[in-house]
Structure 1
Amino acid sequence: MTDALLERHAEALRLFGERVRDIRGDQWGAPTPCAEWNVRELVNHVTAEQLWIPPLVAEGRTVEQLEGSFSGDVLGDDPVAAWDRASAAAHAAFAASGALDRAVRLSYGSALGSAYCSELTADCVVHTWDLARGIGASDRLPDSLVEFSIKEIMPYADGLAASGQSPSRWRSRRARTRRPGSSRWSGARADAPPGGRRAVPHTPSRFREPRAGAESREPRPTPRTTGVPPQIIV
């Protein structure tokens, strides 16, 4: 399970990186299916998500300790290089011995590293499709990543429906085009902390909050290869 999950994570990061390299100089301000973000803002969001991973997973730090660390623009003058550094460090943190079995302290409490990795893998896949659409590149995704993401997201069908999105679109559009459909989760800032909830659910990490009166959650059992995320942050 560990190897398969890390393979999917690496595959998702590679695919997003390929699309980042496809961005022409005049496309960084282009709109994307994420109505609140243009191309640069979308890449900035996904890159910032990777920056949270090493300190949370490898260093055992908390969201509160890191609050504000990855605010604003994290791409600088060379977005491709910024993505490469952030994604490489993120994958290395998850691939380290014991990382997937370790509890990670997110904004709502504790979750296993494997669940956090599963969540961010699906998140990266969804945003790869968004980015491809934004720049007019091929939006076809590998079947392995589509299946992984659908299984990761479907446990949150009720949350998606409540936010006005229909998970069934993933199924119907995948059947026709072998890639995720256009249903989206929106509302998070590019620098939103893992597991944090904003006014509108955003990624697989915004659909679940601590139970009333509970300060944290017990780590979940290590999920199946497809994963049962503690959160979904898209």
Structure 2
Amino acid sequence: MADFSPVELLELFQRAQAQFTDRVDAVAPDQWEDEALPGWTVADLVAHLVTEALWVPPLLAGEPVAEGRFPEATSDLLGDDPFTGWESAADDALSAFAEDDALVRTVHLSRGPTPATEYIFEMTADLTVHTWDLARATDGDTELDGELLTAALVYADRLPDDGIPGIIDPPLDVPPSADPQTRLLARFGRKAT
């Protein structure tokens, strides 16, 4: 990937995980059933990212995405301690990406073979946007890390003009003078307010 070296991508991914971890740690016991996104509770959102983290080791080991082979994103994945569930999955994902040759591998996603560098880049952007989703849903700190915003905007520039149906909402219009966080959120179909 021309924009970031593998070392930079790994560092950005680690920062994105840490930023999300801080927001998960701040979720109050009575907030897990609050709405995070349309049709998703806070628990659903965290379970979604736990699932994505759990997919990393087998995908980097060469296993293709196949129905029934990978866990579904359900709040059952969170168990009795959602923070520990997230942290364990996140640690395993980071360890898998940090293996010596992990970022020169190809992963087999449902859309086809994908360079691991593109996969980690996509996951970093996803974590960054979902950090905001989680913080907004729980009245937490919605200010995102500036370097992660920059990286996620680079990723967002590669998205189709109309988003990805069922995955990423179409972008919202914002003025070119909008701050980076507002532009990123708009690119992912979210209003910064």
TM-score exceeds 0.5: yes
- Distance in 1 between residues matched to 2:50 and 2:138, nearest whole Å: 17
Structure 1 runs not aligned, ≥5 long = 187-234
Question: After the TM superposition, which segments of 4 or more aligned residues of structure 1 sit over 3 Å from their partners?
Answer: 161-164, 167-173, 177-180, 182-186
Structure 1 or 2: more helix by fraction: 2
Q: 1:168 to 1:92 in 2, by over 3 A?
A: farther
Kindly provide the amino acid, as one letter, of the partner of residue 31 in structure 1.
Answer: E
Q: Which has the higher contact order (CA 8 A, sep 6+)?
A: 1
Over aligned residue pairs, what C-alpha RMSD do you find?
A: 2.5
> Quick check: 1:155 aligned with 2:158?
yes
Asked if structure 2 preserves the Cα contact closer than 8 Å seen for 1:132 and 1:138, the reply is yes
Q: What residue number does 1:123 align with?
A: 126
Q: What residue number does 1:62 align with?
A: 64
- Distance in 2 between residues matched to 1:82 and 1:121, nearest whole Å: 19
5 Å-filtered alignment, 1:81-230, equals 81-160=84-163, 165-166=170-171, 168-169=173-174, 173-175=178-180, 180-181=184-185, 184=188
Aligned residues: 182
- Distance in 1 between residues matched to 2:63 and 2:173, nearest whole Å: 37
Q: What residue number does 1:45 align with?
A: 48
Q: 1:50 to 1:143 in 2, by over 3 A?
A: same
Q: What residue number does 1:22 align with?
A: 26
TM-score normalised by the chain length of structure 2: 0.85
Structure 2 runs not aligned, ≥5 long = none
1:8 Cα offset (Å): 0.3
Kindly provide the amino acid, as one letter, of the partner of residue 94 in structure 2.
Answer: H
Q: Percent identity?
A: 33
5 Å-filtered alignment, 1:71-82, equals 71=72, 72=74, 73-82=76-85
SS in 2 for 1:105: strand
